[in-house]
Amino acid sequence: MSFPVKRMLTLSLFLPLGLTVTSIIYLILCFKLDLGTPSFPREGFVPLIVGILLFIGSCYLTINAIITAKNMLPPSQKTPKIEKINFLLLVGTLFGYLITLKVLGFTFSTFLLIVVSAKIFSAKWRSAFLLALGFTITCYVIFIYWFNIPFPSSIFMR
């Protein structure tokens, strides 16, 4: 196995493992906050939910990386270049999200962020729109109706 392939395998295993370790530390720190109850959540309730989701997702990514590493064929020479381009596109998308958040508001900016991010990761248009719509509606219901916390609004809604 050549050096670039070993390097890619190492990165593809260590990044999910690092995320798993980070999520475990995050969860441990979340338990130091007051959780409250589902009907009366306190400051640690939402971070705990996020931490659990982060842990589950990172475990899935770690298991997937281990399975992929066992079956991985040597990648073509174009793969690292495509990965760098996708990384730069994702970073640009996140900066664009920060800029559009003030102008378009949370709901529309988050919807666009998820659609564009899903397309960067090669999702189909329908899947990208359904994922973005589901996430946006879920956030809206949780924060507006359950917690009674308003979203950041756009400059057009003031």
pTM: 0.52
- Give the pLDDT confidence of 31-41 residue by residue, as tens digits: 888 888 777 87
Predicted confidence at residue 117, as pLDDT, reads 86
pLDDT at position 7 over 60: no
CA distances to 28, 34, 37, 84, 137 from 42, in Å: 17, 6, 7, 41, 23
**Total residues found in the chain within this entry:** 158
Q: Which of 75, 95, 116 is the last residue of a domain?
A: 75
Say if residue 81 is in the same domain as residue 157. yes
- Amino acid letter, residue 25: I
Say if residue 95 is in the same domain as residue 153. yes
Q: Which of 14, 44, 75 is the last residue of a domain?
A: 75
Place of tokens 């992929």: 68
Say if residue 92 is in the same domain as residue 45. no
CA distance 24 to 35: 17
70-91: average pLDDT = 66
Say if residue 85 is in the same domain as residue 61. no
> For the CA atoms of the chain, what is the radius of gyration?
19
Domain with 127, as residue range(s), is 77-158
Torsion of CA 59, 63, 66, 67, to 10 degrees: -160
